[in-house]
Amino acid sequence: MNCETCITSTGNEGCGDKGGCASGGCNKLNVFDWLANMQLPTDHRFDVIEVRFKNGRKEFFRNSENLFLETGDPVIVDVPNGHHLGFVSLQGELVRLQMRKKSIENNDKVRKLYRKAHRKDIEKFNEVKTKEQATLFRTRKIIDELNLAMKLTDVEYQADNSKATFFYSADERVDFRELIKRLAGEFKTRIEMRQISLRQEAGYLGGIGSCGRELCCSTWLSSFASVSTGAARYQNLSLNPSKLSGQCGRLKCCLNYELDTYKNALKDIPTVQKPLLTEKGEATLQKTDIFRKIMWFSYENDNNWHAVDVDRVVEILALNEESKKPASLLEDVEALNLDTGRLNNDLEMMDRKYKKNKKPKRNKKRGNPKRKNRPSDKK
């Protein structure tokens, strides 16, 4: 879909649905319309469209005039006490599915889509947007002067310049009545304070996660589910806050992505709450490989770990409940250490009887024998 930057530079064409904007606004919380190339009945076309606003915020509006729209078109929509400019992000049957997913009923409460935005609407909208950065800095100074325990994240002006929405995060309830008075007197517009969570704040600001990719909350994740430390325990992750926390300071949303897979794999893993009793000693659980279904145990005063299959662990637990002890983690009965030498005594005696004793050969000295002293040789 096209964004504000490509609209102002290249007219209404923008980048289309190719997501080629250098600003990155076209790709934020984008949705792939997999029904776009399918021929659907035009008589029963769903008349509600999805419109995207600043920071990926999306709302639904009714196209009662049956206007021909494409993804990325700027439109003027009805908002409380005025109108606002947004961009078409989705239309057709997928909008019906999105409304059902977000539990939004298709009734008279769905506001109306007025028309497509003209050139003057876009120019006025861009003029209003230029005030947002200066308003953000000035409001932060006022907050510091009033000593309010809140963090201002973003400011959004309505396209008709009749309202300014301030997005903030706070740990406790904040009394900002004095703040609203000062803001209304300085900016001469209607003020709305909207509190957001820390996860939404991270999505507004954006960034790169520890995985090396752009944050999920700023690219595609629109609904935030609660994440508990139990998700880390199921996946055998170390409970290190610095590694499990995201840029928002809360537990990472990606801890829930594979949680169901781990829960299904853990159904076959037995619960070992105490050491396994064997004749060789007590075996303590050290590690569990969930997907390979292997559990690692170690004996007392032994640094070696022994890999035991899950089925074998279940057998040992059943034996311990019956007050029985296997010989070891891998064997139920000790191996018999038979002296095989005694069984072959007869063969050894026969070998000794017929064995030839070979005397070692003496080394003969080679060369001329020693000359004996003869009388003629003597002087």
What does the pLDDT read at residue 18? 42
3-state helix, strand, coil in the chain (%, to 5): 30, 20, 50
Task: Give the residue, 338 or 182, on which the prediction is more confident.
Answer: 182
Unique residue bearing structure tokens 């009734």: 107
Helix axes 119-146, 177-187, angle to 10 degrees: 140
Given this model, what pLDDT does residue 115 score?
93
Assign 379 a pLDDT band (cuts: 50, 70, 90).
very low
**Phi and psi (nearest 5°) for 315?**
-65, -45
Predicted local confidence at residue 182, as pLDDT: 93
At residue 10, the pLDDT reads 41
Count other C-beta atoms under 10 Å from residue 229's C-beta. 13
Catalogue the long-range contacts made by 93-101 (C-beta closer than 8 Å, 24 or more residues apart).
93/35, 93/40, 93/46, 94/31, 94/33, 94/34, 94/35, 95/46, 95/48, 95/49, 95/50, 95/60, 96/46, 96/48, 98/31, 98/50, 98/60, 99/48, 99/60
Confidence of residue 31 (pLDDT cuts 50, 70, 90): low
pLDDT of 375 over the 80 cut? no
pLDDT at 355: 66
> Hey, what amino acid is at 221?
L
Beta-bridge partners for 90: 50
Q: What is the pLDDT of residue 7?
A: 47
- Would you say residue 184 has pLDDT above 60? yes
Q: Could you state, in order of their start, the residue ranges of all structural domains in the chain? A: 4-117, 125-196, 202-265, 269-321
20: confidence class by pLDDT, cuts 50, 70, 90: very low
**Residue 45 pLDDT:** 75
Q: What is the CATH number of domain 125-196?
A: 3.30.300
Strands (E), the chain: 48-52, 58-62, 74-79, 82-91, 111-116, 151-157, 163-169, 190-195, 276-278, 281-289, 294-299, 306-309
pLDDT digits (tens, 9 = 90+) for 288-332: 999 999 999 999 888 889 999 999 999 999 999 999 999 888 887
- Asked if the model's pLDDT at residue 8 lies above 60, the reply is no
Q: Taking 80 as the threshold, does the pLDDT of residue 157 lie above it?
A: yes
Radius of gyration of the chain (CA): 40
* Percentage of the chain lying above the pLDDT 90 cut: 47
Instruction: State residue 1's pLDDT score.
Output: 40
Q: What tens digit of pLDDT does each residue of 87-103 get?
A: 998 888 889 988 998 88
Q: How far is Cα of residue 58 from the mean position of the Cα atoms in its chain?
A: 23
Positive or negative: CA dihedral 98, 102, 108, 114: negative
pLDDT, tens digit, for every residue of 205-252? 888 998 999 999 888 887 888 899 999 989 988 889 889 999 999 999
How confident is the model at residue 339, as a pLDDT? 47
Neighbours of 38 (CB within 10 A): 9
Annotate 217-274 with three-state secondary structure: HHHCCCCCCCCCHHHHHHCCCCCCHHHHECCCCCECHHHHCCHHHHHHHHHHCCCCCC
Per-residue confidence (pLDDT) for residue 91, from 0 to 100: 87
| Other beta carbons within 10 Å of 303 | 6
Lowest-confidence pick of 174-188, 237-251, 342-356: 342-356
Model confidence at 16, pLDDT cuts 50, 70, 90, reads very low
Give the pLDDT of residue 129.
Answer: 92
> 248-282 pLDDT, tens per residue?
999 999 999 999 999 999 998 999 989 999 998 99
- Distance linking the first and last C-alpha atoms of the chain: 128
Contact yes or no for 66/47 (Cβ under 8 A):
yes
What amino acid occupies position 369?
A: P
Q: Is the pTM of this model over 0.85?
A: no
Number of CB atoms found within 10 A of residue 83's CB: 15
- For residue 135, the model assigns a pLDDT of 95
Rounded to an integer, what distance in angstroms lies between the CA atom of residue 209 and that of residue 211?
Answer: 5
Q: How far is CA 59 from CA 78, 101, 104, 208, 247, in A?
A: 11, 13, 10, 27, 27
Determine the pLDDT at residue 19.
42
Q: What is the pLDDT of the chain when averaged over all its residues?
A: 82
Residue 166 bridge partners (DSSP):
155, 193
